[in-house]
Amino acid sequence: MRSVRAKASLGATAVVAVALVVAGFSVLLVLRAYLTDQAELQAEVTAREVASQIAREAGDGPVSVTSPEDRPVQVVDEDGKTVAVSKDLEKISGTGSTGVKPEPLPTGEDEPDRDQDDDPERGQVSGKEPRFSRGEATVDGETAEYRFAAVEATTGGGLTVTVYAGAPLAVEQHAVASVREAMLAGLPVLLVVVGGVTWLVTRRALKPVEDIRTEMAEITASEDLSRRVPEPGTRDEVDRLARTTNETLAALEASVERQRRFVADASHELRSPIASLRTQLEVGEAHPELLDVPGAVADTVRLQQLAADLLLLARLDAGERPGRAVVDLSALVREQVSQRGGPGRVPVTVTAADGVEVLGSAGQLDRVLGNLLDNAERHAAGEVTVSVTREGGAAVLAVGDDGSGVPDAERERIFERFVRLDDARSRDEGGAGLGLAIARDVAERHGGTLTVGESRDGGALFVLRLPAQ
């Protein structure tokens, strides 16, 4: 069963069926208990009426009973002998005795003594709670089930008897049977209605999902990531699913477009050094004396650096996680700056606090620092400053220059790949526009940020913030 509608319909029908069976069973129990209580009440009333009749009778004569035609009555003494029964009672069970033929009362020496001068004694009805039992009785040839109530009484002659009076259970049995038959007849119909309604409601609720699935299948077939799935606007789970799907498609479209631009820009950037290197080699082959060896070496180095940048970006895009080694930022800065001295280089001033450590990849963080220093030296007028401090729980690395700075409108754009603000700058003087993009990606992979602002000398100030160790 692979259909969600079928599963939902079957599940709802099963739940309703169980609930109806339990509810029906409970109703039958409550109804049976109520009707049984009514029968017990009727039997008790009859038993007390007969007991009152016996108690009112004076003397030692035989006990007589009068009861409704459908209420069998049996009077039994302390020895279990039947002393009186109602009219037309032919058979009885479930009481203190099965006898339906009255036996004579005891006389003579067994009679209780009493003063001859006293008035005749009158009996009484016991105040005890009646006892109830279930049995059968045959009255005038008809056998039925009864609920019997037992009430004790004392006759005028001092004889203690128990009066058993029955109330028929036919009403209870008929009512319970009628309700049970009605439930059994209505249950299948109700289950069919529940299953059908659930099927229709589920189909209506899942229609937007089917529309989303259809649109996604068409997008997959056409490879057109600009298309979007329909949003039902119902503000429920399906609507949120559609919005999330569209957001995923938008992110996927942006990623694919970014990859396309990356490949196109990378091809364009690689074309220039390769073409230059080929030209120099072809000239050198034809005229060895004209071969520009330094230029060929420079183009080869630039090509090697570009390939390394592209490889690092590819690893970052693939989700490569940085290492978890402890890196001393201050030591990293001092080592990087010490390798940049020499004639013609812009002087770098370092202010680094000791013991500023972070967790991450030493190689990637060294690459970030190198890219920031390269960018600062390329745009500085006469000085580059580097500082390493600890601010709260963050390690802060700041690289500033005294150049022309970065316009406010371009401060986010410079972190895009293959972006150069100085279009007139030759590729020999500048990079491929990947250094700052790599630096920000590495910073974010390390749980930090990289932003650009204005230095105190009016140039650019790049601030790298990383969680401190």
pLDDT value of residue 61: 55
Sole residue written with tokens 């390769």: 274
pLDDT-based confidence at residue 22 (cuts at 50, 70, 90): very high
Q: Identify the weakest region by mean pLDDT among 124-133, 366-375, 455-464.
A: 124-133
pLDDT value of residue 319: 75
**Residue 329 near residue 358, CB atoms below 8 Å:** yes
Are domains 225-320 and 322-467 of this chain identical in fold? no
Q: Taking 90 as the threshold, does the pLDDT of residue 107 lie above it?
A: no
* Cβ-based neighbours of 332, under 8 Å, separated by 6 or more: 362, 365, 366, 369
pLDDT value of residue 247: 92
Which residue type does 379 have? H
* Three-state secondary structure of 209-265: HHHHHHHHHHHHHHCCCCCCCCCCCCCCHHHHHHHHHHHHHHHHHHHHHHHHHHHHH
Domain-wise residue ranges, the chain: 4-176, 225-320, 322-467
**Residue 402 near residue 457, CB atoms below 8 Å:** yes
Q: Taking 90 as the threshold, does the pLDDT of residue 89 lie above it?
A: no
Average pLDDT over residues 321-347: 85
Which residue type does 380 have? A
Q: Element (H or E) spanning 299, and its range?
A: helix 293-317
Predicted TM-score (pTM) of the model is 0.51
pLDDT value of residue 110: 44
DSSP-assigned beta bridge partners for residue 399: 386, 462
Average pLDDT over residues 271-282: 81
Q: Element (H or E) spanning 400, and its range?
A: strand 394-401
Q: Taking 50 as the threshold, does the pLDDT of residue 109 lie above it?
A: no
pLDDT value of residue 326: 92
pLDDT-based confidence at residue 118 (cuts at 50, 70, 90): very low
pLDDT value of residue 96: 75
User: Rounded to an integer, what is the distance from CA 287 to the centroid of its chain?
Assistant: 77
pLDDT value of residue 430: 52
Burial class (CB in 10 A: 0-12, 13-18, 19+), 339: exposed
pLDDT value of residue 451: 93
Q: Identify the weakest region by mean pLDDT among 225-239, 244-258, 409-423.
A: 409-423
Burial class (CB in 10 A: 0-12, 13-18, 19+), 73: buried
Alpha-carbon distance of 357 to 150, in angstroms, equals 95
Beta strands, E only, 117-200: 124-125, 131-139, 142-154, 160-168
DSSP-assigned beta bridge partners for residue 160: 154
| pLDDT > 90 in the chain, percent | 25
pLDDT value of residue 114: 44
Sole residue written with tokens 């049970």: 180
**Residue 365 near residue 344, CB atoms below 8 Å:** no
Alpha-carbon distance of 8 to 215, in angstroms, equals 24
CB atoms within 10 A of CB 67: 20
In DSSP notation, 9-58 reads: HHHHHHHHHHHHHHHHHHHHHHHHHHHHHHHHHHHHHHHHHHHHHHHH--
Q: Taking 70 as the threshold, does the pLDDT of residue 360 lie above it?
A: yes
pLDDT-based confidence at residue 396 (cuts at 50, 70, 90): very high
Helix (H, G, I), strand (E, B) or coil at 300: helix
Check: CATH 1.20.870.10 for 225-320? Answer: no
**Quick one: which of 469, 450, 466 has its CA closest to 355?**
469
Q: Identify the weakest region by mean pLDDT among 33-47, 263-277, 417-431.
A: 417-431
pLDDT value of residue 63: 64
pLDDT value of residue 465: 94
**Residue 327 near residue 355, CB atoms below 8 Å:** no
In DSSP notation, 378-392 reads: HH-SS-EEEEEEEET
pLDDT-based confidence at residue 422 (cuts at 50, 70, 90): low
Strands 131-139 and 348-352: unpaired
Helix (H, G, I), strand (E, B) or coil at 127: coil
Alpha-carbon distance of 436 to 415, in angstroms, equals 5
What is 322-467's CATH number, 3.90.1150.10, 3.30.565.10, 3.30.70.260, 3.40.50.300? 3.30.565.10
DSSP-assigned beta bridge partners for residue 384: 348, 401
User: Rounded to an integer, what is the distance from CA 162 to the centroid of its chain?
Assistant: 66
